[in-house]
Amino acid sequence: MSESASANAPKPSSSVKLVLLGEAAVGKSSLVLRFVNNDFQENKEPTIGAAFLTQKCSLPTRTIKFEIWDTAGQERFASLAPMYYRNAQAALVVYDVTKPSSLTKAKHWVAELQRQASPGIVIALVGNKLDLTNDGGDVSEAAGAAQGESESAQNGDEGAGEEDEVQDDVSGDARKVSTREATGYAEEEGLLFFETSAKTGTNVVDVFTAIANAIPESSLKTGRGTGAGTGQTSLGNRSAEDSRVNLDDRNAATAKEGCAC
């Protein structure tokens, strides 16, 4: 896959544990499915406990292998979440742009992660179901990230280049959470921020690329979960070559300079 895509010698590869959190039915699993298989299913089985998937992301200087923990969204599964975000280096906190309560829930998750997860965890706030809004699926980079690293991610594949700053004026679409509100919150908390559509694929890969870029190099060297303080043993070679998850031809097609997922 990425080895073949790039002419370079095998780049340093490291694993990043990423956890998805958010209210039920905001599209966590769909985001992952889009990212991993470039696929979308209307009726996805609810996640019981958590689903585990992996996907590689090739950056210019290194390869990141995401180990994605996709958690169940139903409220009562929340007490299981610590089990999954333990040692996570990155988190995707997802809400539904058509459902304000889901942003509230997302904020709760952000607060939980900031206090309980590994210090230095990279958190991205993601407003999903952009396809249900007037902005439709052709919006990219709904907002810049609060962390500077995401700039490099802006030349991602899908829908890149169409900057759309103002999406606040909502007219008759299903959007209930304004971009401004979410951006403001994300900036306040120092989160990466994106609005995505798992259905159309808008911005999905960008999110992961931005996260990959935002992971500090130092934490990659020691494997995952740096500074988690829970005494986990770090593993240098986390079987980087192992691509258990079927990465389809899409990788080759999208292997540009940015993320080659």
Partner 1 sequence: MIPWSSFVQKAQSLIDPANFNIPALSSPDHNPSKASLFRQQFRLPDSQNPLQEITADLVLPLPNSSANQGDGSRKVDRAGNTYTGRLHLSERFICFSTQPTSFIPSATASASTAWTGQTHGTGPSGNGFVLPLSCIRRVERLHSASHVFSLALTTWNGLLNKQQEPNLVPQRLILQLVGSRQACERFCDTLKKGLREGMKEVDNLRTVVTDCYSEYLLSGAKGKGQDGSEADTRQPPDAGLGLIFRYPGDARKLRDRSKMRLWGEYFRENGRNATLIRQPTFHKLIRVGLPNRLRGEIWELTSGSLLLRIQFPMLYQQTLAKFDGQESLAIDEIEKDLNRSLPEYPGFQSEEGIGRLRRVLTAYSWIDPEIGYCQAMNIVVAALLIYMSEAQAFFLLSALCDRLLPGYYSTTMYGTLLDQKVFESLVEKTMPVLWDHLTKSDVQLSVVSLPWFLSLYINSMPLVFAFRVLDVFFLEGPKVLFQVGLAILRVNGEELLETQDDGSFISVLKSYFSRLDESAHPRSENPKLRAITRFQELMVVAFKEFSGITHSTITETREKHKGAVLENIETFAKRTSIRNLGPESKRLSVDDLGTIYDRFYETLYQWEQRQRVIEEETRRQERKKSQRLSMLAPPADTQVGRVGLGPSPTHMDYEAFREFLAATSKWAVADSPGPSGKESLSGKSALWANRRQPADHEFMQRLYRKWATNPEEGLDLQNVVNGLARLKGSPDIMNNINYFFNLYDDSGNGQVDREGILKISEALLFLSRRGFEGTITATPSVENLNSTADRDHAEDSLTTDEKFLGSVSAFIRRCFEYADPSHPENRKEDQQDATAEATEKLDSFAIGDDDDEEEDLIDVHDAKPASSPAPDATAQTAKSTTPELNSDDHNRSTSESANPALDPNNPLHITLPTFRMVVLADELLEQFFESYFPQSFHLSDHPHPAALAASSSMSSNLTTFSNLGSIRSSGLAAGSAPVAGASGGIVPPGKGLRGVLDNIVSDGIRMAAEVKKRMDEAQRDLERNALGREEDEDDEDDEDYPRRENTAAAIPGGIPSWGAGAYGADTERRSVVRDADRDLLEGAEVLGGGKEERTSLLDGKDDANHAPRKVSGSAASAKDGGSPTARDGEVISKLVEFES
Distance CA 200, CA 63 (A): 26
Q: Determine, following the binding rule CB under 8 A, whether residue 11 of this chain makes contact with partner 1.
A: no
The residues, ordered by sequence, that sit 6+ positions from 122 with a Cβ below 8 Å of its Cβ are 89, 90, 91, 147, 192, 211, 214, 215
Q: Counting contacts by CB under 8 A, is residue 95 touching partner 1?
A: no
Binding mask of the shown chain, residues 16 to 45, with x at each position contacting partner 1 by CB under 8 A:
--------xx----------------xxxx
Shortest reach from residue 15's CB to partner 1, in Å: 7
Helix (H) or strand (E) holding 2: helix 2-5
Neighbouring-strand partners of residue 65: 15, 56
Shortest spacing between CB 7 and partner 1, in angstroms: 28
User: Quick check: 189 binds partner 1 (CB under 8 A)?
Assistant: no
- Asked if 241 is part of the footprint of partner 1 (rule: CB under 8 A), the reply reads no
Q: Does 77 bind partner 1 (CB under 8 A)?
A: yes
User: What is the rounded distance in angstroms from the CA atom of residue 14 to the CA atom of residue 24?
Assistant: 30
CA distance 200 to 220: 31
CB of 155 to partner 1, least distance (A): 29
Question: Among positive and negative, which fits the CA dihedral 44, 47, 107, 118?
Answer: negative
72 to 55, 182, 196: CA distances (angstroms):
19, 23, 20
Using the rule CB under 8 A, is 239 a contact of partner 1?
Answer: yes
- Does position 67 interact with partner 1 (CB under 8 A)? The reply is yes
Does residue 149 touch partner 1 according to CB under 8 A?
Answer: no
Which residues bind to partner 1, rule: CB under 8 A?
A: 15, 24-25, 42-50, 52, 54, 67, 69, 72, 74-80, 82-84, 86-87, 108, 111-112, 115-116, 225, 232-233, 235, 238-239, 242, 244
